[in-house]
Amino acid sequence: MGGGASKGKKAAGPPKRRGGRRDSVSAASDAIAYEKVVVTKSAEAYTRIENAVADNFLFSALDAAQKQEIYDAMFEKAVTAGEVVINQGADGDFFYIVDAGEFAVTTTATGADKPVFRYSAGGSFGELALMYNAPRAATVTATADGVLWGLNRDTFHHVIVATNKLKARLEETVLQQVALFAELSEAQRAAIADAVTRVEFSAGATIVKEGASGAASEAKFYIVETGEVVVSKKGHGELGTLGPAQCFGEHAIIHGGARTATVKAKGPASCAAMTSADFERLLAAPCRRLMDEQIARYTM
């Protein structure tokens, strides 16, 4: 079981199926016979799910299609005060996101009257038993009436665990090769891997457009993961090509103003994208000297 992205504060059963670090997560599951599950729900329910998972780190690496697959498979579970959702020692079957209510975590070691943690709206639990194929490590009990969104084991493995395996590989391979990160520690690179989102681009797609707003709320920093991107500037033509482990987009975040160059995918490409807020938090100070050197070569 685990914390997920915890915050703060008539039961429908689960739907029937139709038809050490990251290393442990990666090894949790190999090929699982998988079939997509779609639980019928309203547009309002989808909005509630999206709001509930907004700050959950397990969803940070998912693209739009993967998130939709997760939302489709989730089922609503109403609970009443005193209801036990997870029993310590039981097999892991579902992962839960808290939509409303409060839930207490207890263990046999501490006793039922001494919660070791509490979950409220936006919190999540149940993932560790699924990731590690281990028995539930604690008991989770509703302390007030509430609503949960549940996700079955197979969908959790197929979408969330598989995506985090890719994220782990990114940390272990691409991020280690990024010249800008040469002076970062392993822990700092791990924090970057947690902060980025993988974005796919088709051949010729514009990633950054010269003259577009470089406002901090909109600017993103990119690391090329696969493929190549072409940097060009009006009046100067093509400035160069960037490949795996090379970066762009830092100028708009560091200096503000409009984008000063255009970046397009040369062919199919994928990038690890980081928001300006995470960039400032993780990279602005430790990587500033190397970034200034790059900006002098490719102003974007």
19-28, 62-71, 172-181, 185-194: least confidently modelled range = 19-28
The answer to whether 269 and 226 have CB atoms below 8 angstroms apart is: yes
Q: What is the mean pLDDT of the segment spanning 66-84? A: 94
* Residues paired with residue 150 on neighbouring β-strands, in sequence order: 75, 96
Angle, helices 64-73 vs 43-53, to 10°: value is 120
Element spanning 253, H or E: helix 250-255
The answer to whether 160 and 62 have CB atoms below 8 angstroms apart is: yes
Q: Three-state DSSP class for 291?
A: helix
Bin 279: left if φ > 0, else alpha if -120 < ψ < 50, else beta: alpha
For residue 62, pLDDT beyond 70: yes
- Phi, psi dihedrals of residue 105, rounded to the nearest 5°: -105, 125
* Alpha-carbon gap, residue 300 to 290, rounded angstroms: 15
Q: How remote is the C-alpha of 226 from its chain's centroid?
A: 19
* Alpha-carbon gap, residue 157 to 163, rounded angstroms: 9
More confident residue, 188 or 72: 72
pTM over 0.95: no
How many angstroms separate the most distant Cα atoms in the chain? 71
126-150, pLDDT tens digit by residue? 988 887 788 998 999 999 999 999 9
Q: Which residue has the tokens 């939709």?
A: 68
* Alpha-carbon gap, residue 85 to 77, rounded angstroms: 10
Element spanning 148, H or E: strand 146-152
More confident residue, 296 or 151: 151
Please give the pLDDT value at position 259: 76
Question: Which ranges of 74-146 does DSSP label H, i.e. alpha helix?
Answer: 127-132
List the structure tokens of 56.
Answer: 């959950």
Band of pLDDT at residue 19, cut at 50, 70 and 90: very low
Q: What is the mean pLDDT of the segment spanning 48-73? A: 85
Please give the pLDDT value at position 5: 39
Question: Which ranges of the chain does DSSP label H, i.e. alpha helix?
Answer: 22-26, 43-53, 64-73, 127-132, 153-155, 162-172, 174-177, 186-195, 250-255, 276-282, 288-297
Q: What is the mean pLDDT of the segment spanning 156-182? A: 76
102-125, pLDDT tens digit by residue? 999 999 988 888 888 899 998 999
Please give the pLDDT value at position 158: 82
Please give the pLDDT value at position 169: 67
The answer to whether 123 and 103 have CB atoms below 8 angstroms apart is: yes
200-210, pLDDT tens digit by residue? 899 999 999 88
More confident residue, 224 or 33: 224
Output the average pLDDT for the chain. Answer: 79
Q: Specify which of 22-31, 88-97, 176-185, 278-287 reaches the highest per-range mean pLDDT.
A: 88-97
Q: How remote is the C-alpha of 173 from its chain's centroid?
A: 18
What's the one-letter identity of residue 203?
A
Please give the pLDDT value at position 172: 66
Going across the sheet that includes 75-79, the strands are 75-79, 146-152, 94-100, 124-125
Q: How remote is the C-alpha of 300 from its chain's centroid?
A: 26
> Mind listing the domains of the chain with CATH numbers?
22-162 (2.60.120.10), 173-297 (2.60.120.10)
18-32, 135-149, 154-168: least confidently modelled range = 18-32
Give the contacts of 225 (CB within 8 A, at least 6 positions apart): 170, 174, 198, 244, 269, 270, 271, 272
